[in-house]
């Protein structure tokens, strides 16, 4: 029917039909040409040459790469990729505005470091002799390990979000073991109090002979002390970053009235053995951040409880750092060390007014001596409760990506519960810290994984 109508129209009005057909053909041709040109423009916009030369452009999930110095030094400059990277140069793009009496004109701009650009044979700067590194460029381009650790472990100003300000917390966390002795140590800065200073607390949980004892003390401190983090001091307790390691002093009373615990511990921070900071943001100014400056480092030193001396020389330790608004937040976290890899899993469950909890993925990361070797965000964390206590008896974590496929079977052996008081973040919840035996199987870092070791885990429960 349609074909018959088309033939009759063509025979009745041949000139009009020819012009119409030609118009349609021209329109299709123009559209095809524009799509082709658009494809070429898009391809050229992504070309590494536009970034100053090179073969590969590395970007972050939101465009910019955070912690570029760490990536240049410990991902591209050492480890498995080092032999395949001839040169690498950071750059950043932004818009500058030229203002005069006629208004504003936007000017695209690119910032970079001259010495790095020359290594990349960037033709834009190759012949400009005055394009040289400033002292600030040189300091940024060649940081030592202490500088990188200090940048990762700095404390953050409380964001200007009055509705959430009362739940801001930031803390340094350390754990370690040597023989049958283990410790869990937190230096925690809270929100501002009536005096205008900040609430601050130090808590140590010390396990020996199968028994756990807790030691703690609370303080008020000024912002100037927190601005020096990770160097912190409160009473006789202190943290000092020295070179590529941490020195930690302890002097705390027993929460049950027993003898005080005192002593010094040192935790080495192997170069590259870190997980750089990452931050999650939600509605209403909500933010949560996390970094692991020391994935696995050697311990030394001792703690003294009354006449008893607990040696940690030859032991192994771990250090991470958390910050953010914590009202209405829950999390699941765990960490275990196997030779030569370590593994960290976690999931932050935000308040409903900040983000949809079901849309925030968990993470499972495999970390080698020189940094991450694999990660997954397609992660399931399943807790099975003991019917008699309502607390986790076992936890199973599974994660898979092209870089790893792992199952962590976690048997909980001991749980320490801290009741969160009214007015504190997590009010009405128990903060559970668990010692557990991990069975880790699967693949990561290009090889098989199969080991059993003691590790740690945390969660919140009503």
> What whole-number distance in Å separates Cα of residue 60 and Cα of residue 55?
17
SS3 content of the chain, % helix, strand, coil (to 5): 20, 50, 30
pLDDT exceeds cutoff 70 at 25: no
Beta strand spans in 269-391 (E)? 275-281, 287-305, 308-311, 316-325, 330-337, 342-349, 363-368, 371-376, 379-385
pLDDT value for 425: 47
Mean pLDDT value across residues 269-293: 89
The pLDDT confidence band at residue 400, using thresholds 50, 70 and 90, is very high
Tokens of 393: 């008896």
- pTM > 0.85: no
Q: Are 176 and 316 in contact (CB under 8 A)?
A: yes
How many residues are present in the chain? 462
pLDDT exceeds cutoff 50 at 410: yes
Q: Which residue has the higher pLDDT, 459 or 63?
A: 459
Residue 334 sits at the vertex; the CA angle it makes with 236 and 282, to the nearest 5 degrees, is 90
SS3 133: coil
Q: Which residue has the higher pLDDT, 137 or 382?
A: 382
pLDDT exceeds cutoff 70 at 271: yes
Q: Are 173 and 180 in contact (CB under 8 A)?
A: no
pLDDT value for 102: 85
Find where tokens 């130090």 sit.
202
pLDDT value for 364: 93
Mean pLDDT value across residues 434-448: 91
Mean pLDDT value across residues 445-462: 87
pLDDT value for 38: 55
Q: DSSP letters of 159-202? A: PS-TTTGGGEEEEEEEEEEETTEEEEEEEEEEEE-TTSSEEEEE
pLDDT exceeds cutoff 80 at 272: no
Q: Are 68 and 88 in contact (CB under 8 A)?
A: no
Condensed to tens digits (0 to 9), the pLDDT of residues 214-256 reads 999 999 999 999 999 999 999 999 999 998 899 999 999 999 9
Condensed to tens digits (0 to 9), the pLDDT of residues 63-77 reads 566 677 777 776 776
pLDDT exceeds cutoff 90 at 304: yes
The answer to which of 83-97, 268-282, 309-323 has the lowest mean pLDDT is: 83-97
pLDDT value for 8: 60
Q: Which residue has the higher pLDDT, 61 or 215?
A: 215
pLDDT exceeds cutoff 80 at 408: yes
The answer to which of 222-236, 266-280, 380-394, 437-451 has the lowest mean pLDDT is: 266-280
Q: Which residue has the higher pLDDT, 271 or 240?
A: 240
pLDDT exceeds cutoff 70 at 423: no
pLDDT value for 291: 92
pLDDT exceeds cutoff 90 at 264: yes
Q: In the chain, what is the greatest distance between 2 CA atoms, to the nearest angstrom?
A: 113
Q: Which residue has the higher pLDDT, 373 or 186?
A: 186
Mean pLDDT value across residues 443-458: 90
pLDDT value for 202: 95
Q: Are 394 and 412 in contact (CB under 8 A)?
A: yes
The answer to which of 35-39, 95-99, 212-216 has the lowest mean pLDDT is: 35-39
Mean pLDDT of the chain: 83
pLDDT value for 361: 83
pLDDT value for 94: 84
pLDDT exceeds cutoff 80 at 4: no
């Amino acid at each position: 029917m349609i074909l018959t109508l088309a033939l009759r129209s063509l025979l009745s009005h041949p000139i009009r039909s020819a012009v119409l057909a030609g118009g349609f053909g021209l329109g299709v041709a123009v559209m095809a040409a524009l799509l082709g040109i658009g494809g070429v423009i898009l391809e050229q916009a992504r070309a590494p040459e536009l970034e100053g030369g090179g073969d590969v452009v590395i970007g972050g999930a939101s465009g910019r790469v955070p912690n570029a110095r760490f990536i240049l030094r410990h991902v591209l400059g050492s480890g498995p990729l080092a032999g395949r990277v001839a040169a690498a140069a950071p750059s950043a793009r932004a818009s500058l505005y030229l203002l005069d009496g006629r208004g504003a004109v936007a000017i695209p701009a690119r910032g970079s470091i001259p010495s790095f650009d020359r290594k990349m044979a960037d033709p834009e700067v190759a012949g400009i002799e005055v394009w040289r590194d400033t002292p600030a460029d040189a300091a940024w381009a060649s940081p030592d390990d202490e500088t990188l650790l200090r940048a990762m472990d700095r404390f953050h100003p409380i964001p200007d979000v009055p509705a959430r300000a009362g739940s801001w917390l930031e803390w340094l966390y350390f754990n370690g073991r040597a023989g049958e002795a283990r410790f869990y140590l937190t230096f925690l800065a809270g929100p501002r109090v009536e005096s205008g200073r900040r609430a601050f607390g130090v808590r140590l949980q010390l396990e020996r002979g199968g028994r756990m004892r807790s030691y703690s003390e609370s303080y008020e401190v000024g912002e100037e002390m927190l601005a020096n983090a990770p160097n912190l001091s409160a009473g006789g307790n202190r943290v000092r970053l020295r070179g590529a390691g941490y020195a930690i002093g302890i002097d705390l009373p027993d929460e049950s009235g027993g003898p005080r615990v005192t002593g010094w511990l040192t935790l080495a921070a192997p170069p590259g053995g870190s997980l750089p900071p990452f931050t999650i943001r939600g509605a209403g100014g909500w933010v949560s951040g996390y970094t692991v400056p020391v994935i696995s480092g050697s311990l030394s030193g001792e703690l003294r409880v009354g006449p008893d001396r607990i040696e940690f020389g030859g032991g192994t330790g771990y250090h991470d750092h958390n910050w953010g608004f914590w009202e209405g937040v829950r999390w699941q976290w765990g960490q275990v060390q196997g030779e030569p890899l370590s593994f960290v899993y976690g999931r932050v469950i935000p308040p409903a007014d900040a983000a949809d909890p079901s849309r925030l993925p968990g993470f499972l990361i495999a970390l080698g001596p020189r940094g991450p070797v694999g990660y997954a965000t397609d992660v399931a964390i399943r807790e099975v409760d003991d019917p008699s206590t309502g607390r986790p008896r076992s936890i199973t974590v599974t994660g898979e990506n092209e870089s790893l496929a792992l199952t962590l079977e976690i048997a909980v052996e001991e749980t320490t519960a801290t009741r969160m008081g009214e007015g504190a973040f997590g009010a009405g919840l128990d903060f559970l810290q668990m010692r557990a035996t991990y069975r880790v199987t699967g693949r990561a870092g290009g090889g098989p994984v199969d080991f059993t070791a003691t590790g740690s885990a945390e969660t919140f429960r009503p």
